[in-house]
């Protein structure tokens, strides 16, 4: 008799409601500092969940915000970390042209984490690098506390358990 092994695992997933809460917090921060932003939130695979182009945000920053979020989610690192290691003569020089130019090495992209798992990324663009990072961080803060003090709900995708397969009725 063979042993059953688990080939899947339970991981948290970012919900649309959670992504919207992150987006709202980031947009509030952008408004508070007076910088209209392009803000993107993606899932763990870098797929866009929500996007917001605030009135007055730079049109040229739309793709940059999306690519910052994609880079943060897919590499599980903040984009500003790559700026430090991707310059000429540095170990990751040239990485910014990988993945069809989607790879961003400019600050403003942060991975979104829950229970030790990266569940997505946020990317902000239109301000200075510091402003983009501040707005992205404000979005991440929404994961812990919503304005009403509620925790943003994250949904878990259950893995099938051996011997617990559902049977179809004929």
Domain of 22, CATH number, reads: 3.30.450.150
* Integer CA distances (angstroms), 105 to 57, 74, 113, in order: 20, 13, 20
Which uninterrupted H or E stretch holds 24?
helix 16-33
Starting at the edge strand that comes first in sequence, how are the strands of the sheet with 117-125 ordered? 48-53, 38-43, 117-125, 109-114
Rounded Cα gap, residues 67 and 48, in angstroms = 10
Q: Per-residue pLDDT for 153 more than 90?
A: no
**Dist CA 15 CA 152 (whole Å):** 9
Domain with 63 in it: 12-148
> Domain for residue 159, yes or no?
no
φ and ψ at residue 56, rounded to 5 degrees: 90, -5
Tell me, yes or no, whether 63 lies in a domain. Answer: yes
- Asked whether residue 20 is assigned to any structural domain, the reply reads yes
Q: What angle do CA 103, 80, 42 make, to 5 degrees?
A: 55
Give 47-80 pLDDT, tens digit per residue. Answer: 999 999 999 999 999 999 999 999 999 999 999 9
Rounded to an integer, what distance in angstroms lies between the CA atom of residue 138 and that of residue 165?
Answer: 42
Element of type H or E holding 156:
strand 155-157
- Domain presence at residue 106: yes
Please check whether residue 90 lies inside any domain of the structure: yes
Backbone angles phi, psi at 67, to 5 degrees: -70, -35
- Is the residue at 164 inside a domain? no
Does 165 map to a domain? no
Which helix (H) or strand (E) covers residue 110, if one does?
strand 109-114
Residue 169: pLDDT over 60: no
Between 159 and 103, whose confidence is greater?
Answer: 103
163 vs 113, more confident? 113
Residue 164 has what pLDDT? 44
Predicted pLDDT of residue 142: 87
Give the pLDDT confidence of 18-57 residue by residue, as tens digits: 999 999 999 999 999 999 999 999 999 999 999 999 999 9
Q: What is the pLDDT of residue 1?
A: 58
Bridge partners (DSSP) listed for residue 13: 155
Count of domains for the chain: 1
The fraction of the chain above a pLDDT of 90, given in percent, is 61
Identify which has the larger pLDDT, 12 or 101: 12
CA distance 150 to 144: 8
For residue 44, is it within any domain? yes
């Amino acid at each position: 008799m063979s042993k059953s092994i688990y080939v899947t695992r339970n991981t948290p997933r970012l919900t649309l409601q959670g992504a919207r809460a992150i987006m709202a917090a980031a947009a509030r921060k952008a408004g508070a500092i007076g910088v209209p932003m392009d803000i993107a939130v993606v899932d763990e695979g870098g797929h866009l969940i929500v996007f917001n182009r605030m009135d007055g945000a730079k049109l040229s920053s739309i793709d940059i915000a999306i690519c910052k979020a994609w880079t943060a989610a897919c590499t599980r690192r903040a984009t500003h970390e790559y700026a430090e290691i991707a310059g000429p003569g540095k170990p990751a020089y040239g990485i910014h042209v990988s993945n069809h130019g989607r790879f961003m090495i400019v600050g403003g992209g942060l991975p979104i984490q829950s229970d030790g798992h990266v569940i997505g990324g946020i990317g902000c663009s239109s301000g200075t690098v510091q402003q983009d990072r501040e707005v992205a961080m404000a979005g991440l803060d929404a994961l812990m506390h919503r304005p009403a003090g509620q925790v943003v709900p994250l949904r878990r995708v259950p893995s099938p358990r051996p011997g617990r397969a559902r049977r179809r009725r004929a």
